[in-house]
Every structure is written in C-alpha cells, then in structure tokens.
Structure 1
Amino acid sequence: MKKNILLLLFTLLFVTSLYSQQAAIRIGYVDSQVILQQLPEAQKIQKELDNLLQKYQSEYDQMVKTYQSKIEEYQKKEAMLNPQAKEQMQREIAELEQKIFEYRNQKLGPQGEFEQEREKRLKPLRDKIIDAIQDVAQEEKLNFVFDKAGDVILLYADKQFDITFKVLDKLTRGAKSK
C-alpha cells in the first residue's frame, strides 16, 4: 500500500512537472504584412520606392522603344543601304541593345541600384520593427515569436532554447567517431 501511494505521488509529481514545463513555453506571432500596411513610416518608404521604380521603368521602356524603332528603321531601309551604312546601323542597334542590357542590370537587377536603395531605406525600419517585437515578446514573457506573412519566419527566440552549439557539437563528435 505504501508503495502504491509512493508510486502515485511520484507519478503525480512527474506529470505535474511535465505539464508545468509545457505550460511555460509561450509562443506568439505577428503578421508583418499588416504591420507594413498600417505603419505610416512604411507606407511613406513604399511610396518613395514605387516612384523610384516607376522612374527606372520609364527610362528602361524609353530605351526599348528607341531600340525597337531603330530596328524598324533598319528593316525598312536595309535593301537600299550600302554595306557601310548597313554596318553602321547594325553597330548602333547592337550598342543600344548593350545599353539596355547594362541599364537593366545596373538599375533593376537583383544587385542593381533599385534593390540597393530599397535595402538602404527598409533596413532601419526592419530593425525598428524587430526591436519592437523583441520588447513586446519580453513584456509578454513569450519564448518564440513567428511571422505568419508568407513563409513562417522566427523573429524572436529566447536564448535558453538555442541548441545550435549542441547540434554542432554532436555533428563534429559524430563526424570524428565515424
């Protein structure tokens, strides 16, 4: 009988311990799209970026239009042109094509001026948002905060749950023993 009571107490203590550990982990989430849509500072930056993109796109479209008209002109006159004039127009068309290619890469490409400007303007805002998320997470005693917009991204994690170096240790020890 004493063993049963002791076993019951031990089981109860164990279950209570597990329950309290599980209850201690608190998770929250944010929708960064809503934050960016509602935050006046973000709206202002987005409008400025839209204007810049429109400027670059307009310049690019004008270059393409000039290129297309040059090709049409060449096709209309090709039969009447002497070899030197043909060669000259072909060179001009090739130069325009190269300029269009360079412009697109320099201004609109993944490493272009627009992306650099976008990153420069948005980074301080992103940092400000992350700081606010961390502050709220600590005030609310949350262990993890995720972003539900698009791909789920972890925005905040309590350092006590970081197992990076344990995994790294296990991998490096595991690699040595194999």
Structure 2
Amino acid sequence: MKKLAIQAFLVVLACVFWHDSYAQKFGYIDSKFILGQMKEYKQAQSEIAQLSQGWQKEVDAKNKEVDNMEKAYLAEEVLLTDEMKKERLAAISKKREEAREYQRKIFGFEGLYFLKKQELIKPVQDKVFDAVEKVSKAKKIQIMFDKSGELVMIYTDPRHDYTDFVLEELGIGNKDDVIDNKR
C-alpha cells in the first residue's frame, strides 16, 4: 500500500512538472553506495558494532544470572519452605524485570543504541545531504531521488545518476572514474 501511494505520488508529481515546464531536471543518487565509500561512515558503523556487542554481552550476562537463579531454585525447591519459595520466586522475578528493563534501556526505542547510532551517523548523513544540495544546485536539478531508499525505480537512465558528482563533492570520488553525465 505504501509503495503504491509513493508511486501514485510520483506519477502525479511527474505530470505536474511535465505540464508546467519541460525544463525540469530530475536526477538520482545511491546514498548506500556513497555512505559505503565514506571513511567516517565506516568508522561510525564499526564503533556502533563494538558498542552493540559489549551491550549485548551485558544483557546476556544478566539473562544468564536469571537462568542460574531459576536452576538453583528448581534444584532446591523440595527443600524450601513456602515462605522461602515465595522469596526466591520474588527475587527471580525482580532480577528478570531488571534484565528486561536494562535491555529496553539499551536496545529499546530511543535507547542508548539508537541514540549512539544517531549521534555517530547523523553528521555523516548531513554531510552527504549538503553535498547533494550543492550538486543539485550546480547541475540545476529540481528533484533528486535516492535509489537506495524505499522509492521504487523501475528504470534509471545512467545520464541522470549523480552519485559520482556527490562523491566528488565529498572529495572521495575515484579520480580515474569517468563521469558520463554530459551536462
């Protein structure tokens, strides 16, 4: 349904621009490819992966502690009084909730993982968006699409691919690459 709505919007948008002026220029880039070429992005991804692994180990340790408490309870259950059973089950339940809460704090919506990822990735994305804006203005592009997003592009003419120009603007383009966009 979402893709259909996007496609319908693009058709309407294309009709409006076609009707209003034949001079409208469109282009597209591949932001995944661009980000993959950026050292800052690779470093941010690496740092996020390391943090994530460390946090996951902490979550796993907390869950293992709960499992060990449950195993110990089951092994000793027959020897415990009803009051001792209630206390142990309450302690296990409390520890399990603490583990869940810690996991939510780290990996939940707007948790530490989300915030750290945003902190490290957003400046890199902003840099790409600034380069896209400069290229779009320099090439007089009215609309620039990103083919790596949810936008479905059934056909793309390489003449309208501005990925290389954005890489060049960022200073990371391959100097031996020949950009075949004749403009």
With normalisation by structure 2, the TM-score equals: 0.69
Matched, 1:66 2:40: no
Which residue identity is paired with 2:133?
A: Q
2:21 counterpart SS class = helix
Larger relative helix fraction = 1
Aligned to 1:21: 21
1:111 counterpart SS class = coil
- Please show how residues 1-178 of structure 1 align to structure 2 within 5 Å: 21-22=21-22, 24-152=23-151
With normalisation by structure 1, the TM-score equals: 0.71
Aligned to 2:11: none
How many matched pairs?
A: 135
1:126 counterpart SS class = helix
Which residue identity is paired with 2:27?
A: G
Partners of 1:124 and 1:84 lie apart in 2 by: 56
Flag the structure with larger Rg.
1
Partners of 1:48 and 1:124 lie apart in 2 by: 15
Q: CA offset at residue 36 of structure 1?
A: 1.5
Alpha-carbon displacement from aligned partner over 1:37-67 (angstroms, at most 9, x marks no partner): 1111100000000111111111001111111
Partners of 2:86 and 2:120 lie apart in 1 by: 46
Partners of 1:94 and 1:19 lie apart in 2 by: 66
Which residue identity is paired with 1:21?
A: S
**C-alpha root-mean-square deviation of aligned residues, in Å?**
1.9
Note closer, same or farther for the CA distance 1:85–1:35 as it changes in structure 2 (3 Å cut).
Answer: same
Between the aligned residues of both structures, percent identity stands at 28
Q: Which runs of 5+ in 1 are unaligned?
A: 1-17, 154-178
